[in-house]
Structure 1
Amino acid sequence: MTASFFPRALLLLIVGSLIACSTPRKGDIPMADKVPPLPTGMVPDTAPLPPPIARPGSRWVPVRWAELPGLAEDDVHQALQAWQHSCTAPPAALARLCPDIRRLGLANTAQIWHWLQTHMQPYRVEDHSGNSNGMLTAYYEPFFNAQRQPDPVFRYPLYAAPVGVEGFGKRKPWLSRQQIESSPSVQAALAGHEIAWLDDPVKVLVLHIQGSGRLNMTEPDGRQRQVRAAFAATNDHPYRSVGKWLLERGLVRDATWPGITAWTQANPSRVQEMLWSNPRYVFFREEALDEVSSNFGPKGAQGVPLTAERSIAVDRRSIPYGTPVWLSSSGPTQALNRLVLAQDTGSAIVGAVRADYFMGSGEIAGDIAGRTKQDLRLWVLWPKGAPAP
């Protein structure tokens, strides 16, 4: 049974007492100049560590909180909203903590850190060979203009899942991207499944890669409204990187999205060839956007809305959905030390120490996401005394 959340005044008193008594005695722990500073509200932990946890795709090694880099840099309040979203569909071991997570929104930073240290055990994520270094990429929710009806400019469709079309959902994989887009009979079978039309086939590909997007939709009567094109299904083909395809042929040196965009603008006659190099095809469903849902990203694989800069996609064999994770990454795009939640997955997100960082929505988020490819280390936070996932 988890400890109940302390009343604010009492917890402040306890935290203050802990801080006042936090000077270690000689021999208790390494000297302070060898231990990274802990946030206010935490004290050096010296309790015996639990055993490692084996996952199908990773190994979790228990560590002291002081191993996690940059703890004092993060505003952990910002992570609570993402954690509260996970509490609408939590893993069994984390469900018992959710009442506290909801109340922690009223706590101060010291109280949150004290609660985390009291209830959670950090584990370093490694692969089964002991390697704890991995790769971070990022993704975002694009925002494009779209139309309900096609015209000579807006002529590239986004399709709903073609339920009832021969072979779909029964033959896996189904037709490839090239087969879907080049076969007149397939195009005829898909007629009526369009949910929107875009003005650029590369934008369609971006939506297929990111898995969702916001559309500024123009209706037949001229009215405009914002809707979300949310992930619905795929043709079950593997994802192939168009950036890698360009690099392998020596067509670009910069395979970030800005580099790819520059190549497509300079080589319009080869764009279709590039698009067909990725056989994976995504189908969408339309979702309305209201004042609440427009503040958050699309629903991830956990089934909860993603939170900008606080949600990550992971390999489920390594980290279960809903798990809080300390993420540390340094690179040319951005340096990150922060608490995030594992709430999504992706066909290219494979490996023990692998994450895709949700940047948010729009052009700025897309620019940063398109340039993010850097080193990564991960630590999961798992409830003390809870069974292994």
Structure 2
Amino acid sequence: MTKRSIASLVSALICLALLNGCSSNKQKPQEITEPTEESVRFEISAFSDTPSSEQEDWAAALSAFKISCRSIYRKTAWAEACSKASGTDAQNAEAFFKNNFTPWKIEKRTIGTQTGTVYSVSDTGLMTGYYEPLLTVSKHRTERHTTPILSTPDDLIIVDLAEAYPKLKGMRLRGKIQGRKLVPYDTRAKIVARKDLDKYSIAWSDDPVAVFFLQIQGSGRLRTEEGELIRVGYDDQNGRPYKAVGSWLVDQGYLKHHELSMQNIRAWAQNNPDKVDTLLNQNQSFVFFKEKKGGDPNEGPIGAQGLPLTPKASVAVDRRYISLGTPVLVSVSQTNPNLNFTKPVVAQDTGGAIKGPIRFDFFWGFGDEAGKNAGRQKSQARAWLLLPNGITPESL
């Protein structure tokens, strides 16, 4: 055996021992022979190693962080940072974050649940966008307004699994009573077909696709034909898994994958009214709303933190990996259409489709322009947690 072949053999053995310590373009993907789960790893970094952001973005993030501090200031990890934030103006926002916070790069890993084998490591995830839409509605069902915007029905039963199994913290079952059994709650198709739920309607729309997207956004404003303005927000969900309807359009050959956007889905639905129900029912998930009374009409909708969102500075996250109220530096890129930016944002919301360590939904704001931006976004994303100096991700 030559020295070169010996060196190659040693190198291969070292790579194998380190599992994913080495890589090669010719290397085959590691075969997965067990169930896997996604986990997260945080690596301490420095601002000098992160992409730069604009001053206005730091100012928006500071405003959002101050709002989050209404809740998190009680926690020891955040008390000092919140106190300093309250006395910081927009001009000094960047200095505030860079002097008082440390970036932690986020990595997602696929790990075998039986052996602990690391099958993949990546610092790239997905960011989509959402917004607060405006729908024109009727307070009552009419010949034209036949799609209800529903509040939560009384027959929806919620079981907090953590009460019996503490390891399942944050997980809930949703269903309804059938005889002596708790069975899964109705799918979207069954809910839409039920007439006994009409009494739970907040308002009625003449556009089922608009109501569908309202459910995806999780909040919105309703303007009645009588001129009344109603704000609604997420209250609960039927417990069925979320599925993006765009995949069905691609599978059926109606749209190409690169053509998927909220605008193109709307256009397809307008041109194919006889197929709209089939399209929407691909997503069995159904969202129920509650009317949001009071509050400042100039503030954003209320997010999962129970506080108003800030346009272009709030994101929805998977709270299994990122705590609400935590600032995050996100760097995103996409083509067709081009979209590239690096912004500090604050984790202030959650969403049914937002699952994973590097999975974000970026809040663009209110109205049609925000809707256009949100509907076109499907970006690659890298991210860094911004934690108060001396605080580690594990301590939160």
Q: TM-score normalized by structure 2?
A: 0.77
Identity score, percent: 36
- 1:146 pairs, out of 137, 153, 159, with 137
Matched, 1:85 2:67: yes
Residue in structure 2 matched with residue 340 of structure 1 by the alignment: 345
Change in Cα spacing, 1:68 to 1:157, as seen in structure 2 (3 Å) is same
List aligned pairs for 1:220-235, cutoff 5 A. 222=226, 224-235=227-238
- 1:178-327 matches, within 5 Å, as 178-182=189-193, 186-188=194-196, 190-218=197-225, 222=226, 224-253=227-256, 254-288=259-293, 292=296, 294-327=297-330
The structure 1 residue matched to 2:78, chosen from 79, 94, 98, is 94
**2:369 matches 1:364:** yes
By how many angstroms is 1:142 displaced?
Answer: 0.9
SS in 1 for 2:204: strand
Q: Which residue of 2 aligns with 1:108?
A: 91
Q: 1:174 aligns with which of 173, 176, 185?
A: 185
Stretch moving more, 87-96 or 134-143: 87-96
Aligned equivalent of 1:45: none
Other-structure match for 1:384: 389
- Once the two structures are TM-superposed, the CA of residue 117 in structure 1 deviates from its matched residue by 2.7
Once the two structures are superposed, the pairs formed by residues 113-132 of structure 1 within 5 Å of their partners are 113-128=94-109, 129-132=120-123
SS of 2:228's equivalent in the other structure is strand
1:217 is displaced (CA, Å) by: 2.0
Contact between 2:327 and 2:386, CA under 8 Å: does it hold in 1? yes
> d(CA) in 1 for partners of 2:91 and 2:128?
31
Q: Distance in 2 between matches of 1:72 and 1:297?
A: 22
Residues 134 and 172 (structure 1), Cα distance of their counterparts in 2 relative to 1, 3 Å cut:
farther
Letter in 1 for 2:304: A
Report the TM-score, using the length of structure 1 for normalisation: 0.78
Q: CA deviation at 1:165?
A: 6.6
2:4 corresponding residue in structure 1: none
Q: Contact conserved, 2:126 with 2:378, CA < 8 A, in 1?
A: yes
Displacement of 1:164: 4.5
Label 1:163 to 1:312 Cα distance change in 2 as closer, same or farther (>3 A).
same
Segment drifting more, 268-277 vs 114-123 = 114-123
By how many angstroms is 1:108 displaced? 2.7
The AA in structure 1 aligned to 2:69 is C
- What CA deviation, in whole Å up to 9, does each residue of 1:8-59 have, x standing for no partner? xxxxxxxxxxxxxxxxxxxxxxxxxxxxxxxxxxxxxxxxxxxxxxxx8411
Question: Secondary structure in 2 aligned to 1:265?
Answer: helix
CA deviations on 1:68-104 (whole Å, 9 max, x unpaired) are 1023565411212111110111172123321211111
CA distance in 2, matches of 1:175, 1:72: 47
Q: Which amino acid aligns with 1:215?
A: L
Structure 2 runs not aligned, ≥5 long? 1-37, 110-119, 158-173
Q: What secondary structure is seen at the aligned counterpart in 2 of 1:258? A: helix
Cα drift, residue 153 of structure 1:
1.2
Unaligned runs of 5+ in 1: 1-55
Structure 1 equivalent of residue 170 of structure 2? none
* Equivalent pair of 1:163/1:169 in contact (CA under 8 Å): no
Hey, what's the Cα distance between the residues in 2 that align with 1:289 and 1:147? 21
SS in 2 for 1:302: coil
- Cα deviation, 1:89-133, whole Å, max 9, x if unaligned, reads 11721233212111113x633xx3333233211111111343111
Quick one: distance in 2 between partners of 1:315 and 1:236?
Answer: 17
Cα separation, partners in 2 of 1:114 and 1:259, compared to 1, 3 Å? closer
SS of the aligned residue for 1:108 comes to: helix
